[in-house]
């Protein structure tokens, strides 16, 4: 298609330089690339982003890396080697955004603090992502996703009721939350720069990002009140809300939110309207208090029904429900298929499926370009910066690229 017929994307013309690894910063910069930004991912020569080596599950590529790094250009650059720092400075002079999630203090030691950069490049937006944020007793503490889930209280309310039944989220929830706040923070900084002409500093900590998501259990436990009990896959304070087995060995997830739905559930799903007169179940508080007795009633009713019949009754009521899908079922999910949410993107090992960004916009199509190999764009980027073949060879000889 002729480029002049491709609708403009919101971040067309925006250049992002990212000193990134793992998940939080790469996930943030990928969202920017989806919206049209040019993202130049700086990686260590020969090694690259260590997430490249997490596994080989996706056509020989790492699953985390495939997910978080499409539509980027990879520049293998050691900024500590002679000439490497000059390449970075030349890039920053033309960039709109710098993102970094290096070890605490590393960027500042390299002269990449916002204060230092703002003097040289007043238009540059700098986004620092860290585990705990600048200042405070935890500033230099190492932070990985599981550790932040622990520090942020997520583990204390997740899992089964037993003392040894703590459970982490099955995905990198702390990294994802930080990446998404960095993404929205950068977008707001770009809007602000449009008004002031000046770049600004966006600072995001994984701890604060996850604690923001913990608002409900925090307020539930306000001023020393007991926290929500761990309830496995069920809701800790609303009942019935969670998984229930059915006769064919599968599990159906359902949820009730109010008394109207409770009445419909008793009448149309359980076909036991007399439960509406039972004082043990006449409010959500009572149902939650007596959840074991109510669970026995529900399981007993479902034990005579298959999955299809239970879901049919729930849909007819209507009561919110869902199947407990595994990953293969999600790949084949009929709703995602019907809405054509999967597309193909390139990679060093062939085409791979990728989910279109969830925020669909009628005015443009998201950028869905290949996942880069390490250093794939070295020659192109350096040539754009004015480096001759000889100068590029010199950088290679110094180990800078």
CATH number of the domain located at residue range(s) 3-213+336-398 in this protein: 3.40.50.10540
Domain spans of the chain, in order of start: 3-213+336-398, 241-324
Examine the residue annotation and report whether 175 is marked as an active-site residue of this protein: yes
E strands, 53-114, where? 72-76, 97-100
Residue of 122, 22, 27 lying closest to 62 (CA atoms): 22
Residue 4: its pLDDT value, please? 59
Residue with tokens 């990985």: 144
Residue 162: its pLDDT value, please? 85
Residue with tokens 């040539």: 383
Report how far residue 261's alpha carbon sits from residue 322's, in angstroms, rounded to the nearest whole number: 16
> 44, 200 in Cβ contact below 8 A?
no
Report how far residue 374's alpha carbon sits from residue 52's, in angstroms, rounded to the nearest whole number: 9
Asked if residue 80 has a cis previous peptide bond (ω within 30° of 0), the answer is no
Residue 1: its pLDDT value, please? 46
CATH number of the domain located at residue range(s) 241-324 in this protein: 3.30.1540.10
Q: What is the mean pLDDT of each run of 10 residues along the chain (401 residues)?
A: 72 98 98 98 97 97 98 97 96 98 93 96 98 96 96 95 90 98 98 98 98 97 95 91 94 95 97 97 96 97 94 97 94 98 98 98 97 98 97 96 96
Among residues 175, 278, 303, 326, the one annotated as catalytic is: 175
């Amino acid at each position: 298609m002729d480029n002049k017929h491709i609708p403009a994307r919101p971040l067309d013309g925006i250049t992002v330089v990212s000193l990134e690894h793992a998940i939080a910063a790469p996930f943030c910069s990928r969202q920017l690339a989806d919206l049209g930004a040019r993202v130049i991912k700086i990686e260590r020569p020969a090694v690259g982003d260590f997430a490249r080596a997490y596994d080989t599950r996706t056509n020989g590529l790492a699953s985390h890396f495939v997910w978080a790094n499409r539509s980027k250009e990879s520049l293998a650059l050691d900024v500590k080697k002679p000439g490497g720092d000059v390449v970075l400075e030349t890039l920053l002079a033309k960039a709109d955004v710098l993102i970094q999630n290096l070890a605490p203090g590393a960027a500042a030691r390299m002269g990449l603090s916002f204060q230092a950069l703002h003097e040289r490049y007043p238009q540059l937006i700098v986004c620092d992502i860290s585990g705990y944020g600048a200042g405070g007793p935890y500033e230099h503490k190492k932070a990985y996703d599981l550790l932040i889930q622990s520090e942020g209280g997520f583990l204390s309310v997740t899992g089964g009721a037993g003392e040894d039944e703590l459970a982490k989220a099955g995905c990198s929830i702390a990294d994802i939350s930080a990446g998404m706040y960095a993404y929205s923070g950068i977008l707001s900084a770009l809007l602000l720069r449009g008004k002031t002409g000046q770049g600004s500093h966006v600072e995001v900590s994984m701890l604060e990002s996850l604690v923001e998501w913990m608002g409900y259990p925090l307020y539930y436990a306000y001023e020393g009140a007991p926290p929500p009990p761990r309830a496995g896959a069920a809701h800790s304070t609303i009942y019935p809300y969670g998984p229930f087995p059915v006769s064919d060995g599968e599990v159906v997830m359902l949820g009730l939110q109010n008394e109207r739905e409770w009445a419909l559930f008793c009448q149309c799903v359980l076909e036991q309207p007399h439960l509406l007169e039972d004082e043990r179940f006449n409010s959500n508080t009572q149902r939650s208090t007596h959840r074991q007795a109510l669970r026995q009633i529900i399981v007993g009713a479902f034990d005579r029904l298959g999955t299809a019949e239970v879901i049919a009754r729930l849909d007819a009521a209507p009561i919110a429900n869902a199947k407990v899908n595994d990953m293969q079922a999600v790949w084949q999910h009929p709703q995602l298929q019907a809405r054509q949410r999967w597309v193909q993107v390139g990679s060093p090992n062939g085409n791979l499926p990728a989910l279109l960004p969830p925020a669909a916009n009628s005015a443009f199509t998201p950028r869905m370009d290949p996942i880069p190999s390490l250093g794939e764009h070295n020659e192109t980027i350096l040539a754009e910066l004015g480096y001759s073949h000889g100068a590029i060879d010199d950088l290679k000889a110094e180990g800078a690229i």
